Amino acid sequence: MNGAELKQKVNSGGIIYGTMISIGRNPRWTTPFSNFGLDYVIIDTEHSPRGRSEVADFIAAFGFSGVVPIIRIPVPDPHYVTMALDAGSHGVLAPYCETVDEVKDVVGAARWRPLKGELVRRAVDADELPSQASKEYLENRNRNNVCIIGIESTPAIANLESILKVKGIDAIFVGPNDLTISLGIPDQYDHPDYEGALREILAKCGAANTPVLMHHQTVPLTIKWLKEGARFVLYSSDGRSLHNAYREEFGAIKQAAEGVTGDVGESDEVI
């Protein structure tokens, strides 16, 4: 799957599944990820210490996995958008956007690179390109670029209807931790104000026919909001999943060990 196919699947009503890569750094991590049944991964560079060359190597390895690599850039800045795409990413997630101008900068870089300055502003504001040939060339060159805008605060929700009028947004991302802090209810994911904010985002995005992905860390929360309309599923992260798996499996081993008494000899089981 590539970025264009990912967009086609979700826009046709399908559900796509992905996770966040927060601690993985070695390109060999792409081998297990290709066997998880995922459609895409978000490679984090906002909160994870990855350099530009590391990101490029990681993305190159994903080219053989069938999983679409998308970069969460550090800030909503066109320079970081083009760096991610030049490294081979099939898209970007721009965190903590609050204004139409921020979103236009991100969309312009994702959709019309390498245009810059006045020319990219004309392209975003008026769909005006230097020529029809330039328009067709850039649309084809950037066809795989998935542009995801992060809505993670109350000012962002207030501006969401205006933001969604910017042509070229492929999905809206909700960061639950940042949003609950903005609402004054840190990490209270069952709070009525948080649930009301998510439903407001879903309603506004539904009216604009724009998919929503919410980065929840538990299966029950992910399923709850999947049922309420979040078809672009982003579940947990490699770090958290590894943590949970080891705790669960070693917990079972330790629980079994507590019932073992006396000397323990070798098993006759053939492995």
Which tens digit of pLDDT belongs to each residue from 183-217? 999 999 999 999 999 999 999 999 999 999 999 99
Structural domain count of the chain: 1
| 265: in domain | no
| 262: in domain | no
Share of the chain above pLDDT 70, in %: 96
| 263: in domain | no
| 41: in domain | yes
pLDDT number for residue 189: 97
Binned at pLDDT 50, 70 and 90, residue 269 comes out as very low
Q: What are phi and psi of 65, to 5 degrees?
A: -100, -25
pLDDT number for residue 84: 96
> Could you tell me if 45 and 71 are in contact, meaning their C-beta atoms sit under 8 angstroms apart?
yes
Range of the domain at 88: 3-254
> Could you tell me if 2 and 68 are in contact, meaning their C-beta atoms sit under 8 angstroms apart?
yes
Q: Which two tokens stand for residue 128?
A: 């005006």
| 228: in domain | yes
pLDDT number for residue 163: 98
Q: How far apart are CA 216 and CA 180, in angstroms?
A: 12
- DSSP-assigned beta bridge partners for residue 21: 43
| 260: in domain | no
0.75 exceeded by pTM: yes
| 266: in domain | no
Report the phi/psi class of residue 147: left, alpha or beta, with left for phi > 0 and alpha for psi in -120 to 50: beta
pLDDT number for residue 264: 47
| 267: in domain | no
Peptide bond into 220 cis (omega under 30): no
CATH of the domain at 7: 3.20.20.60
pLDDT tens digit string along 117-175? 999 999 999 999 999 999 999 999 999 999 999 999 999 999 999 999 999 999 999 99
pLDDT tens digit string along 94-125? 999 999 999 999 999 999 999 999 999 999 99
Nearest partner of 151 among 190, 188, 110, 203, judged by Cα: 203
Mean predicted confidence (pLDDT) in 243-252: 89
Positive or negative: CA dihedral 99, 8, 12, 221: negative
Question: DSSP characters for 105-143?
Answer: HHHHHHHHTT--HHHHHHHHHH---S-HHHHHHHHHHTT
Q: How far apart are CA 118 and CA 213, in angstroms?
A: 32
Q: Which two tokens stand for residue 266?
A: 């070798």
